[in-house]
Every structure is written in structure tokens, then in C-alpha cells.
Amino acid sequence: MRIAYRVRQFARAIAGPQTPPDLGQLASLLTPQQEALFSAMAVVDQRHCLAVATALAAKGYDDPDLLRAALVHDAGKSLAHISVWERVANVLMRRFIPGLAGRVGSPRQGGFGHGIHLLAHHSGMGAALAQQAGFSAATVALVRGEGDPTLQEALNHADDTH
């Protein structure tokens, strides 16, 4: 984990634009139901997912399943409001106490640290939401983190750097 990247990410979350981003040409990849899943995410997550998809497209990736997965890979985070402190706590735990990150926070909606729980388990939850929204099995697998190894590596790298 790069500290400077995380500091910039935090600053963007706090001070960045609070209006949803325009999907531009990538909107053509999504059905209305799939676009609704994208729109259900927090604006900071929408902007991040769009940045990941845009970065992949700029590097020449044109696989529709990969680009769709990039647009909704954080959809599991939309299941509840995740506070800034929960996002920061999650990053710090993953960095300094990795085994703790997946065991902290309540799985119950409204429970203490529910956002931390969502952050640790958002891939599986997001995959279920993507499946419900009608995404292909390949897209769902990428969101879950279990997609085609080459595409999964590209998605993970773009996710970690954007």
C-alpha cells in the first residue's frame, strides 16, 4: 500500500466533487438496471470505479466484462452508509493488522462498525448485487475477485492505483 496514494484518496473523498460522474461512452456498456446499481454507490465510489474503468480502457483493455466489472466492483459498499472513519480504520487495519480487518464490525445493518464489515466483505456482496442486476457470469466473477486470472490481475492493479 502506498501511503501517498491513500492520503490523496482520503483528500478526494473529503474535498472532491459531490456530484455523480458522467459515465460518458462507458454508459453504453450498462443496461438501465446495471446503471442503477452503479448510481446506488456513494459518489466517491462511483468516481473511483469510473477512474478504474477509464484507466483500463486507456491501457487498451476492451473486454466488456472487465470494463463492466470495473464500473461496479465496489457495489457491495452501497448496502449501507460507510463513514469516513470506517474507511480510514479499514485501510489502517488492512495495513497494520491484516488478520483483523475481516473480523471487525457488525454484519447487522446499523450495528457498530457495520461499514467496516461491508468494506471487508464487499466483493462477495457486490457480486450478488451484480448478478441480480443481470451482469454476465464473467463480470460477476471479476467483481467477486475470482475472474479470469489475466483480467482479474488487470482489474486489481487498476483498483489499487486509481
| Cα 65 to chain centroid, rounded | 15
What mean pLDDT is predicted for residues 51-68? 97
Please state, in angstroms and rounded to a whole number, the distance separating the CA atoms of residues 97 and 44. Answer: 25
The dihedral region occupied by 128, where left means phi > 0, alpha psi between -120 and 50, and beta the remainder, is alpha
pLDDT of residue 4: 67
Domain range list for the chain: 3-19+32-161
**Average predicted confidence (pLDDT) for the chain:** 89
Q: What would the grid cell of residue 117 be?
A: 464489515
pLDDT tier, 148 (very low <50, low <70, confident <90, very high otherwise): very high
| 90 CB-side CA count, 13 A | 21
Give yes or no for residue 139 having a pLDDT over 90.
Answer: yes
The lowest-confidence range among 80-84, 89-93, 100-104 is: 100-104
